[in-house]
Amino acid sequence: MRFFRLLMPLLLAVVAVFCFAPAAWAFCGFYVAKADTKLYNKASQVVIARNGDRTVLTMANDFQGEVKDFAIVVPVPTVLKKEQVRVTEPKIIERLDAFSAPRLVEYFDPDPCAPLPLFSRNAINFSAAVGNIAEVQTADRSLGVTVEARFNVGEYDIVILSAKESGGLETWLTRNGYKIPQGAKQLLQPYIRSSMKFFVAKVNLDKFEESGYQFLRPLQISYQSPKFILPIRLGMINATTEQDLIVYILSPQGEAEIANYRTVKIPSNVNIPVFIKNEFGEFYKSLFQTAYTKEGRRVGFLEYAWDMASCDPCSADPLTQEELKEAGVFWLNDNSPSDVPPFRKLVLPSFNSNVFISRLHVRYTRDTFPEDLTFLQTANRELFQGRYILQYPFQGELKCEAGKKYKQSLPKRFEQEAQTLARLTNGNIQDIRNKMKLSVGNLTYSWWENLVSWFGLN
């Protein structure tokens, strides 16, 4: 039995789409690649749909190993009933990941000798993405543990526990077949002092076999609490390296931030050398690590903040209404009683999603993130995304005066791209220059070797 690595250790292309610029701030171009969670070996994903004090939390499962060994212990603010727990499909989290992932776009310089287009791409600057509940009231007085509820959902057996002290809870879990990592007692204690309950799930092997699924599906819970937190400390018990957490927060308001740690925007909206098209995954990993180190390793990065009704450029289509429902959105056309779990009473309109998505990326260790994450919802609806631009030079004949000036401007632009890449990734500038071999017109050249001639009377 193992714990997820993060919340699910505790909790855990080339596609070309043309952008038609429906608004003045839109940036047109061709989307060519995205930096999704497949880049990271140890990445947990959590979806939080929240409005007011009501929350639907979906926990992705990155567990690797025999399903018989799987178990999860999640602190929750209240006792959950069976109707508040369900399983969902992994695809919904894959869709959120694809929609909000940092993306690579490419532009192609127009012929400088041709008439000017109606609008200039370079002028656009995007700134800163059922059944009955078996209530068990008997407690093991010697351990101080109460089984508040016990039920089955899908392929999972669920137990909701309360406890008076961490040693008793640790003993109860061990006696009931949960292999608790060393150090759990110390990390369980703060949750017990805060009167948190414990959501405990393991796989029912018979039901898992009957289901026909090859992988464990994400668990989704709904609850009502003024606390907007994500417990991550238990997931650090048996972590030996840094872990990545991607949190997708869905809200009818605006951008979500981490309240008890700094939230900064990932470096974005920059031109980089065109050879990165074939190295985008490694580029983004290096960029993230460089920014993470520069910010002191105690920070969460905003990678995406956007209205779910649109995207520009689109690395994936916006989620459909049914997909939003699956992700836990519950606040649209909500006229049903408040005591019904959110995902049981969802009715979605046929237009205008009224959902704002924030994608937050945290890389953490026990030392850098000693506290659980606390979030803050804001009314800020400013659009932001991790976006990296490849701009290809025009390769036709350049006989006009404007063409000559354009040609003379290229070395400076290329050097800026090289310097930007070196700064973002802490890369070697000469190695970068060695890869930047470009063709302009009929002349193939290594531009850094021709700066004098290019800036002279070429």
Q: Give the residue-averaged pLDDT of 249-265.
A: 97
What is the mean predicted confidence (pLDDT) over 95-105?
A: 96
- Does residue 404 carry a pLDDT above 60? yes
Mean pLDDT, residues 386-412: 90
Which has the higher per-residue pLDDT, 443 or 360? 360
- Per-residue pLDDT tens digits for 35-72: 888 888 778 899 999 999 999 999 987 676 788 888 88
The answer to whether residue 14 scores a pLDDT higher than 60 is no
Q: Residue 245 forms beta bridges with which residues?
A: 44, 362
- The residue that leads in pLDDT, 109 or 40, is 109
User: Residue 329 pLDDT more than 90?
Assistant: yes
Cα(35)–Cα(199) distance, integer angstroms: 32
> What tokens does 183 get?
């150090």
pLDDT mean over 163-176 = 89
pLDDT at 161 over 90: yes
DSSP 8-state class, residue 57: E
177 to each of 94, 143, 182, 188, how far by Cα in Å? 32, 16, 15, 18
pLDDT of residue 446: 47
| Residue 116 binned pLDDT confidence (cut-offs 50, 70, 90) | low
Q: Which helix (H) or strand (E) holds 417?
A: helix 401-425
pLDDT (0 to 100) of residue 154: 93
What pLDDT score was predicted for residue 222? 96
pLDDT greater than 80 at residue 10: no
Q: Residue 1 above 70 pLDDT?
A: no
Residue 279 predicted with pLDDT over 80: yes
Q: List % helix, strand, coil for the chain (3-state, nearest 5).
A: 25, 30, 45
Q: Do the Cβ atoms of 87 and 153 come closer than 8 Å?
A: yes
Q: Specify the pLDDT at position 43.
A: 81
Secondary structure (3-state) at 216: coil
pLDDT at residue number 391:
92
| Cα separation, 457 vs 216, whole angstroms | 66
pLDDT at 18 over 70: no
Mean residue pLDDT across the chain: 80
Domain edges within the chain = 30-391, 400-455
Between CA 154 and CA 130 the distance in angstroms is 10
Mean pLDDT along residues 329-341 = 59
Q: Can you tell me the distance from the alpha carbon of 12 to that of 5, in angstroms, rounded to the nearest whole number?
A: 6
Mean pLDDT for 107-126 is: 62
The band of 333, judged by pLDDT with boundaries at 50, 70 and 90, is: low
pLDDT at 294: 97
Task: Report pLDDT for 232.
Answer: 86
Please report the beta strands in 295-409, taking only residues with DSSP state E, as ranges in sequence order: 299-307, 356-364, 373-377, 384-385, 387-392
19 CB-side CA count, 13 A: 25
**pLDDT confidence of 76, banded at 50, 70, 90?**
very high
User: Between 73 and 41, whose confidence is greater?
Assistant: 73
What's the CA gap between 334 and 30, in Å, rounded?
Answer: 38
C-alpha distances out from residue 304 to 20, 38, 405, 432, Å: 20, 17, 37, 28
Position with higher pLDDT, 67 vs 432 = 432
Question: Is 152 a residue whose pLDDT tops 90?
Answer: yes
Q: Which comes out higher in pLDDT, residue 346 or 211?
A: 211
Q: How many CB atoms lie within 10 A of CB 273?
A: 20
The arithmetic mean of pLDDT across residues 146-159, rounded, is 94
Predicted confidence band at 180 (pLDDT cuts at 50, 70, 90)?
A: confident
Confidence of residue 19 (pLDDT cuts 50, 70, 90): very low
**What pLDDT does residue 23 have?**
26
The pTM (predicted TM-score) of the whole model is 0.81
